Structure 1
Amino acid sequence: MKLKTREYQRGDEHNINKLYKLVANIDRNQSEYDWEWIHTWDGPGFVRLMFDEDRAEGDQLVAQYSLIPTPFSVWGKPFLAGKTENCMCHPDYRGKGIYFPHEKKSFEEARQRFQLFFTTSGNMTKGAPGAVRRKLGYIAFDSWIHFVYITDNAYIRKALQTQLNKYVRGDSRFVKFLTLLISRLVYFFFALKPGEKILHDIRLRKKDEVSLADIERLWICNKREYGVSIDRTSSYLDWRINSNPYQNHSYLCAYDRGSLIGYIIFYEAKDTMIHVMDILVDRKDEVIFSELIQALILYAKKKGAGAVRCTTLSHNMLLKKMFRKNGFVSFNPTHSIGMFTSKNKRQNPFNVFVSETVDTSGDILDPCNWYITDLIKEGRSS
């Protein structure tokens, strides 16, 4: 092996996308790469590459360490975070001891630009990403929790039948009967929850109709209330939401006498599930939270969507309270029966590193102080 490392240069994306396809089995074109890595809200992302010059020309890229710049607010103070994304190693070089030194060296260089670092999927590929990050000083911080509300009986029936067919062999009539019975019971459970009255003016806005300046003003007035969270600047929202090539987002905006007092950002996936990207209200007002959530449920039913889902960290007590209050059920995709053992606790997919330049007097390492939604994630198709 004749290994060489350097930062990204224009034109590398062809080989990067080729390796990405090999490792993740995901196709990505030039414009999608440019959106994610070249034209971010904070300029180009941080990308460091490793090549083996003994390989054939055009097939020399063997490893990548990369960070997406992400604006963070820590009790109102702005910091720049680096989100590990698309860090990868060619299958031929795994287990040969070349990747970790590459990431470690790149990470130390990246600390000159970023003050916080995080990984959203440290439990992937048997926990390998999380294990690498913890060697660098990351903490296995928290796990994801999904809140789901079923709005269409046919949606849950189709999902159940797909799952049951994996485990029940033979009589398809029994599977159909069982699917029909369970789906009706599940749908009846959600239908039992009465919706709350909506008193405020709530309007549906397309991404080119909403005022990002209004959202930023609302955030500036409330960012100390939300502890550790994404810094909702106009530039970040325009890049992450409005310019996103993968998803067409919409906004539900709540107003009081013409002033924005809360919003939900969402999109509808191909499977007809509506995904909540972000939700935020003035002064954490629970009435406004509930009205926005109920308005989204009504919208989902009107559109014939199958379900509504919001993802957050498991220690986000505010969102847990608000979604459960409004009839959502929750499940944690990473925890099992033995979730309280130290081994499983280390598999928490959300890993964080906080540098010494960040003031930790407000207990930044308590996950209950973090308000995180899918706004923090990469923004790729679900």
Structure 2
Amino acid sequence: MAEFDWQWLSAPAGRGEMWLIETDAPDGSPLVIGHHGLMPLYFSDRGTDLIAGKTENTMVHPDYRKKLLYPKFEKQFLKAYSDRFDVLFSTVGPPAALRQRRALGYRAERHWRYIEIALGPLAMVGLLASLAKATEAPSPKRALAGKMLRLGARAASGLPRYRRRNGPSLREKNGDCSVSSDFFGGFWETARRAYPITPRRNRDDLEWRFWANPNVRTRTVFTPDGGSVQGYAVITEVSRFQYRLDDIAVLPNEAEAFTALLHSVCDWCASQGAQVLSVMTTDDPSGPGAAIDRAELPRLETRWPLAKMRKATGQPMLRHATGREGRDISVSDWYVTPFVFEGRA
């Protein structure tokens, strides 16, 4: 129940949209056979607040998938809730759902990409071990992961070595100490004006998405000293050797400042024993992926054998501007981190 309340009732942007498809049961009572959900999120566009809706938990009971035409229902739902939202998006989904939403006006201009930053000599081995452990057995993918893991040590010998840099100092957020309260209380109010369309990052947004999320445990580091580069990162420990970057923002939002903060985040992860830092983002030109590409860090995602296992990279992130209140909102250049995911483990 705590997970349901968190996801659908307690978001800073308000209660989620939950639309049901019903039919009559044999005894004449209502029978729920489908659901379409929309999670509301505050977004920001160069300082202007927007309301975004993330499609979530769209499903139809298997016995009725060939008996009803689902797209007509979502078309009705879209018409009903468009006046509440400035922009809608889908993170990932089955090909059929993506095709249906394209027909409804969603656009697929930007695609997902994996980035794997090597932090230590066991980076490839550690990452492959995490992938093998996370894949349900038995499956061809798990078997491939096991095989690749056995070969990973040999591949690792040719990896470029990560070397630590002297970036801004970081401090881990522990509870609500005065330093972190001061930082997160004012950081986004200043930084937001430099960011294209992206989730809003006020303190209550971060509290809901990460710190009070009952589904996941994250660690947050930030710059406590008020220097020329300010920022924070939210990190998940996927396994002993693999850490995942779930969010990052920097002030000023410039390439040099982002690179300096990213180097400090990599240094911190390496100091905790991480061998690899995983990032999932999109190919938006103003997004963190483009900034990471400029940072000249040792990378794994295009190297054998990982490239063989990551053929799913390239799935589109669908976006739809509703035109609410006559707003002209871009769907082609966002700043996307895993903040936009549903926030479950």
TM-score norm. by structure 1 comes to 0.75
Name 1:149's counterpart in structure 2.
Answer: 117
Distance 2:246 2:88 in 1: 21
Cα–Cα, structure 1 residues 65 and 52, in superposed 2: closer, same or farther, change >3 Å? same
- Can you list the C-alpha shifts for 1:100-135, whole angstroms capped at 9, x where unaligned? 2221211211113212111111xx32x112112112
Distance 1:116 1:128 in 2: 21
Cα–Cα, structure 1 residues 273 and 375, in superposed 2: closer, same or farther, change >3 Å? same
Contact 2:18 2:36 (C-alpha < 8 Å) held by counterparts = yes
Pairing 1:136-285 to 2, within 5 Å after superposition? 136-154=104-122, 156-157=124-125, 159-160=127-128, 166=143, 176=150, 178-186=151-159, 189=160, 191=161, 193-198=162-167, 200-206=168-174, 208-209=176-177, 211=180, 214-215=183-184, 217-257=186-226, 261-270=230-239, 272-285=241-254
Distance 1:175 1:45 in 2: 42
- Can you list the C-alpha shifts for 1:210-250, whole angstroms capped at 9, x where unaligned? 74663352222232321111122222211111111122222
SS state of the match for residue 48, structure 1? strand
- How far residue 63 of structure 1 moved from its aligned partner, in angstroms, is 0.5
Name 2:68's counterpart in structure 1.
Answer: 97
SS state of the match for residue 236, structure 1? helix
Cα–Cα, structure 1 residues 108 and 318, in superposed 2: closer, same or farther, change >3 Å? closer
Name 1:8's counterpart in structure 2.
Answer: none
Pairing 1:300-379 to 2, within 5 Å after superposition? 300-317=269-286, 319-324=288-293, 325-329=295-299, 330=301, 348-357=315-324, 364-365=330-331, 367=332, 369-379=333-343
2:69 matches 1:82: no
- How far residue 45 of structure 1 moved from its aligned partner, in angstroms, is 0.7
Distance 2:205 2:213 in 1: 11
- Can you list the C-alpha shifts for 1:267-321, whole angstroms capped at 9, x where unaligned? 2124642111211111224443233222222222222224111222112345234
Q: Structure 2: 5+ residue runs without aligned partners?
A: 133-139
Cα–Cα, structure 1 residues 213 and 239, in superposed 2: closer, same or farther, change >3 Å? farther
How many residues matched? 327
Distance 2:338 2:142 in 1: 31
Identity of aligned residues (%): 23
2:16 matches 1:45: yes
Contact 1:202 1:252 (C-alpha < 8 Å) held by counterparts = yes
Q: CA RMSD for the aligned pairs?
A: 3.3
Q: Which amino acid aligns with 1:184?
A: S
Name 2:84's counterpart in structure 1.
Answer: 113
Q: Which amino acid aligns with 2:319?
A: V
Contact 2:246 2:337 (C-alpha < 8 Å) held by counterparts = yes
Q: Which amino acid aligns with 1:87?
A: T
Distance 1:207 1:141 in 2: 40
- How far residue 374 of structure 1 moved from its aligned partner, in angstroms, is 1.0
Cα–Cα, structure 1 residues 203 and 158, in superposed 2: closer, same or farther, change >3 Å? closer
- Can you list the C-alpha shifts for 1:85-104, whole angstroms capped at 9, x where unaligned? 11111111113334222212
Distance 2:46 2:176 in 1: 30
Cα–Cα, structure 1 residues 224 and 195, in superposed 2: closer, same or farther, change >3 Å? same
Contact 1:144 1:334 (C-alpha < 8 Å) held by counterparts = no
Distance 2:101 2:182 in 1: 36
Q: Structure 1: 5+ residue runs without aligned partners?
A: 1-29, 340-347
- Can you list the C-alpha shifts for 1:144-198, whole angstroms capped at 9, x where unaligned? 11221123444522555759984599xx8x984x432112223xx1x1x433222
Contact 1:316 1:372 (C-alpha < 8 Å) held by counterparts = no
Cα–Cα, structure 1 residues 164 and 185, in superposed 2: closer, same or farther, change >3 Å? farther
Cα–Cα, structure 1 residues 117 and 165, in superposed 2: closer, same or farther, change >3 Å? closer
SS state of the match for residue 284, structure 1? coil
Cα–Cα, structure 1 residues 168 and 33, in superposed 2: closer, same or farther, change >3 Å? closer
- How far residue 138 of structure 1 moved from its aligned partner, in angstroms, is 1.0
Distance 1:216 1:290 in 2: 24
Contact 1:67 1:83 (C-alpha < 8 Å) held by counterparts = yes
